[in-house]
Amino acid sequence: MSLVSIESPKHCAKKGLNVHKLSKKLFFAFSAFFTTLLSLILIIWLILRPTKPEFSLKETDIYQLSLSGPNLLNSSIQLTLLSKNPNQKVGIYYDELQVYAAYKGQQITVDSPFLHSTKDIRIATY
């Protein structure tokens, strides 16, 4: 036969959970910090409404196309790019813009930093 013990509700209330007060405080602090951080990111995004810039190739010119030797092709290429920043409150600074054309492993690269202001359309020739 087993013993039955009847305990009062006061006795159960004194037991509580086996979680320390420090871990509760740390959990609350982490939750509050995480919630505040997410709220701040959401507010900044709602204010700025960032969108991606748009790029399009307007013109490509090939100059001085010449065949020298059986497998050697020389030319000069000029590209005209149109870039549009649709953002009203965000400017974009490009510290490196890589434009390249490749043919059989040969590559042309141009690096030119520029600032793309808000609601700006920029035409660049490389």
Does some domain include residue 4?
no
Cα gap 82→124, rounded to integer Å: 7
pLDDT confidence of residue 40:
96
Does some domain include residue 43?
yes
Return mean pLDDT, the chain: 77
Instruction: Give the pairing of strands 102-103 and 106-107.
Output: antiparallel
pLDDT of residue 1 exceeding 60: no
Torsion, Cα of 71, 73, 74, 76 (10° steps): -160
Domain shared by 26 and 84, yes or no: no
| Structural domain for 77, as ranges | 54-125
Domain shared by 44 and 74, yes or no: no
Average pLDDT over residues 23-33: 92
Domain shared by 59 and 26, yes or no: no
Cα gap 98→124, rounded to integer Å: 12
Domain shared by 73 and 119, yes or no: yes
pLDDT confidence of residue 5:
60
Number of domain units in the chain: 2
Domain shared by 74 and 89, yes or no: yes
pLDDT confidence of residue 99:
66
Does some domain include residue 3?
no
* 8 A C-beta contact, residue 50 and residue 81: no
- Answer with the residue of higher pLDDT: 33 or 61: 33
Domain shared by 39 and 61, yes or no: no
Domain shared by 116 and 67, yes or no: yes
pLDDT of residue 89 exceeding 70: yes
Does some domain include residue 62?
yes
Instruction: Provide the 3-class DSSP secondary structure of residue 24.
Output: helix
Does some domain include residue 64?
yes
List CB contacts of 59: < 8 A, sequence separation 6 or more.
78, 79, 80
pLDDT confidence of residue 31:
96
Q: How many CB atoms lie within 10 A of CB 120?
A: 15
pLDDT of residue 43 exceeding 70: yes
